[in-house]
Amino acid sequence: KVYFDDILYVESIKDYITIHTTDRQIISKSTITNYEELLPASFFRVHRSFIVNSAKINAFTHQDIEIGDKEIPIGTSYKRVVLEQLKG
């Protein structure tokens, strides 16, 4: 059982998803699109391989988002929407 508040970000590697939480990593065989539909509105996709929890973002630039000590890239096709959400 994983609480939404504990999720930092979700990472996709081929047909697997890694859910990064505050204290562990959970690997599941699924697609990132499935998780994008399941997660609440506070989560949004920033790259074809990453979904982030907006409440856990420490800092961001036009190229990446920082959550803890992890820098997550912002994909070119997601950049406009992501920056609008982060500035709003």
Q: Note the Cα 48 to chain centre separation in Å.
A: 10
Q: What is the pTM (predicted TM-score) of this model?
A: 0.94
Please give the chain's pLDDT, 88 residues, in tens: 899 999 999 999 999 999 999 999 999 999 999 999 999 999 999 999 999 999 999 999 999 999 999 999 999 999 999 999 988 6
Q: What is the dihedral of CA 34, 38, 43, 49, to 10 degrees?
A: -10
Map tokens 């609480």 to a residue. Answer: 3
φ/ψ region of 56 (left if φ > 0, alpha if ψ in -120 to 50, else beta) reads: alpha
